[in-house]
Amino acid sequence: AEPGVVPAVEATADDIATMEIRGAATIADAAAAALATQADRSGAESPAAFRRHLRAAARTLYETRPTAVSLPNALRYVLRGMDGETVADLRASTIARAETFRRDLERAQETLGEIGANRLRDGDVVMTHCHSTDALACIDVALESGKAIEAIVKETRPRKQGHITARQLREWGVPVTVIVDNAARRYLDRVDHVLVGADSIAADGSVINKVGTSGLAVNARERGVPVMVAAQTIKLHPDTMTGHTVEIELRDEREVLSDEERATIIGKGDEDESAAEDDGLTVDNPAFDVTPARYVDAIVTERGQFPPESIVTLMRELFGETTDEPWTV
Ligand code: RUB
């Protein structure tokens, strides 16, 4: 814990790291809310201390998960709005800025939903991967406008976020078929759209989303099914304009193999193994993958629908050339 960071910020950071709070938009919203709480409860007695503690809070949140750029984009936006000569002014401006961010985030998702819904026709079958609030917003608006939609929901190993998608869609009355990830290609011939969200979108139009998205997109192309990515502009990754790549999070191997399962594979009880001993068994658990632009038919944002190859023009317009990290200074 860094000095001056309030416990509620630590708790939010923990929830993001453990995926209690998850999904790029939800993470961004929680991070902005946490900075507002930091501002509200800060014990800082000087403006300099207030700013230092706010930056420390942003750092604490930043270090939780590396792939969804909505997190640093949210932190940057709120910190840039921290303005004033007194603690009281700094507090008020930071809280107001965080509120603006959260309101805009919600509005952007609604607008994106209206745009994305135009791609969906009455009677369409949509295949989903993971759980994306941006993707679901498109279905929500389509349903509201009276279109019947069916969904084939990929389970999404290892964390099974498909269950969250299935629950939401059933709440809306959408007929849902849940399948294991490996069954996706078999079901694609019944599907009109693959509809996914994004954690980050790179300047070359490639889409970083839950691991498995790229294989799904390649299969969809082979089957002639269009791939639609629903992503608010908060998902655009400014660093990729200057050649940086997006870090793919590697998560704990226990999400894939429990200690018992590992011991069974290795063929000995886990008690006679020291943690440091190399038993020759590696488990890789990347949480995300990269879908090249050529497998994506449309990126739907609140600013309209874009072919992935032209997303960079929107990025330049929104971010200019500034990709500072105000929490590091
Ligand atoms: C979530 C995931 C979602 C995107 C978009 O991964 O890959 O597709 O974050 O979600 P995880 P949203 O479960 O590992 O966080 O549209 O809600 O921002």
The CATH number fitting domain 7-110, selected from 1.20.120.420, 1.10.3430.10, 3.40.50.720, 3.30.870.10: 1.20.120.420
**pLDDT surpasses 60 at 260:** yes
Output the average pLDDT for the chain: 96
Reported as a single tens digit per residue, the pLDDT across 53-98 is 999 999 999 999 999 999 999 999 999 999 999 999 999 999 999 9
Two tokens, residue 132:
């994306």
Number of H helices, E strands in the chain: 11, 10
Statement: the pTM of the whole predicted model exceeds 0.90: yes
**pLDDT of 266:** 94
Ligand 1 centroid, distance to 83 Cα (angstroms) = 32
Q: What is the mean pLDDT of residues 108-117?
A: 98
Q: How confident is the model at residue 325 (pLDDT cuts 50, 70, 90)?
A: confident
pLDDT the model gives residue 116: 98
Question: How far, in Å, from the CA of 212 to the mean position of ligand 1?
Answer: 12
More confident: 316 or 268: 316
Q: Where in the chain is the domain with CATH 3.40.50.10470?
A: 112-241+286-319
Mutate to test the pocket of ligand 1, among 130, 160, 163, 291 (most ligand atoms within 8 A of CB): 130
Which string of DSSP letters, residue by residue, matches 216-263? HHHHHHHHT--EEEE--GGGB-GGGGGTPPPPPPB--GGGTS-HHHHH
Domain 112-241+286-319 fold: Rossmann fold (3.40.50)
Q: Which regions of the chain carry the CATH code 1.20.120.420?
A: 7-110
Which letter does DSSP use for residue 286 in this model?
A: B
* Local confidence band at 276 (pLDDT 50, 70, 90 cut-offs): low
Flag whether the ipTM exceeds 0.85.
yes
